[in-house]
Amino acid sequence: MQKFIFITGGVLSSLGKGVASASMGTLLEKMGYKVTFLKLDPYLNIDPGTMNPYQHGEVYVTEDGAETDLDLGHYERFTNVILSKYNNTTSGKLYNSLLEKERRGAFLGATVQVIPHFTNEIIKSIEKAAANSDIALVEIGGTVGDIESLPFLEAIRQMGLELGKDNSLFVHLTYVPYVAAAGELKTKPSQHSVKELRAIGIQPDILICRADRQLPKAIKRKLALFTNVNEDAVISAPDVDIIYRIPLLFKREKLDQIIAKHLNLEYREPDLRDWQKIVNTLSKLDKTVNIAIVGKYVELKDAYKSIIESLIHAQIPNKVKVNFKWVNADEISDDNIDSLLGDVDGILVPGGFGERGIEGKIYTAKYARENDIPYFGICLGMQVAVIEYARNVAGLREANSTEFEPETPYPVIDLMPDQKGVEKKGGTMRLGSYKCSLKEGTKAYSIYGEKEIMERHRHRYEFNPEFREILESKGLVISGEYKAKKLAEIIEIPNHRWFIACQFHPEFKSKPFAPHPLFVSFVKAALEKREGIS
């Protein structure tokens, strides 16, 4: 029978339930079990696709084109799972489905209520996501006690009752703050969040406790006593310098054995040698490179979570530490760009939407091109590179994207015909995995080492094919193409140290044990620049 692990969070459980869930998934996968994940978010948006990154952080995109919570990125990075639209759902999505059924008369005149109708929708979504897996890890977004998450907690309570103790496991993440003035760790936040859970009928089986230090035995004993959790199942999760230590840390706390025993699983010692190798490498990086990330959401690093992790992954084969320099595109001008970017070894311009900061990003692409600084443009980062090249190399001085200037005489970036007239903003972009054919003899081809690749997209505007001929005649190389619609996917500038920009989002496919080749090559180019290698 399938097994279910339900993960909830208490106040300030800032370990991040996503990382904890992913780390548990790592241990189970290494034990030989087929795992999957589901993130249940209690907000009323259908998905996070239309939400400002300051509200929600990065929008992660799955192979099938679902716009999802950023925790799905953790799940995919830590394991070998490939997730889909079924692996993230929200209150909004479930209520939408429920009300559509009500309008069709599916409930035969019954009064539609949160219990049982909405909770049944939640349970169905969990069962659908869990299909074809041995173990499903189900993470409930938000904090225990929040009014909007109550139906989700009720749903998993019902499931736990029906599945029985051998097939369901409740894990609760809490925060154990250290109060410097008192010189001690305080267990009250954990006690209170467990009390909230128990009040609605859920008794945690495992407590994972985030703190700035290892929990001493006395604190574990106290938590066990006041939360009714076995002392062995009180897991210490201290702050770490590298998040990829967490599976190793959980293994040291014997979390794998505790899960196996509770769920009546055959225990197989997980082989974590590859994780130990990753952590050992990341712990001993002597060389450094400075890479600027020029964006518009730089105050919130979670807006670029997958990019940050992909650059960290690229440290491993290059054996070099990346120092991040965060530069707000709004603040860049011709006058100050040298002071902002003159000391970096590489520049990355990530994706984004809207006009704010665009000219700063265009200045950035120009500065990188003219000063032979490795430049990596992703999505919007490619579009601004095309605009800059059209203006300053091809002589199309008023070139722009119709996203920012609808009346531009040179719309080098434009909506494609199938996007014109689209009114709904959510889920209507080019989303998910598309094939890209690479041109032999180009840098992109040498980096990937194959003719065809699959990469994930999230954008509405494209390189306008009407301007392809003139830009190519001025030296721009289109090294990757979506041939079905003749759309440019990768551009590069020859005779430049490293200038590559792509319309897709390679960061969504990078893993610590399989770093994405574009990020690896970019960091290598930055290191060569720093060391003066031409």
Q: Which residues are known to be catalytic? A: 379, 505, 507
> What residues form DSSP beta bridges with 37?
137
Q: Residues with Cβ < 8 Å from 441, sequence gap 6 or more?
A: none
**Distance between CA 331 and CA 495 in Å, rounded?**
30
**Distance between CA 141 and CA 152 in Å, rounded?**
9
**For the chain, what is the largest distance between any 2 Cα atoms, rounded to a whole number of angstroms?**
75
How many angstroms separate the Cα of 246 from the Cα of each of 22, 204, 249, 292? 9, 21, 5, 28
For residue 141, give the DSSP letter: P
Q: How far is CA 271 from the centre of its chain?
A: 25
Alpha helices (H) along 284-334 = 305-318
∠ CA 321-323-329 to the nearest 5 degrees? 145
**49: nearest Cα among 61, 71, 67:** 67
For residue 46, give the DSSP letter: S
**Distance between CA 507 and CA 314 in Å, rounded?**
11
H or E segment to which residue 431 belongs: strand 430-438
HEC sequence for 235-252: EEEECCCCHHHHHHHHHH
Question: Burial letters for 405-435: b for 16+ Cβ neighbours within 10 Å, e otherwise?
Answer: beebebbbbbbeeeeeeeeeeeeebbbbbbe
For residue 94, give the DSSP letter: H
Give yes or no for a contact between 43 and 147, defined as CB atoms under 8 angstroms apart: no
- Cβ-based burial of 301 (10 A; exposed 0-12, middle 13-18, buried ≥19): middle
HEC sequence for 465-522: HHHHHHHHHCCCEEEEEECCCCEEEEEECCCCCCEEEECCCHHHHCECCECCHHHHHH
**384: nearest Cα among 324, 494, 376, 325:** 376
Give the chain's length: 534
Structure tokens at 50: 């239309």
**Distance between CA 344 and CA 530 in Å, rounded?**
9
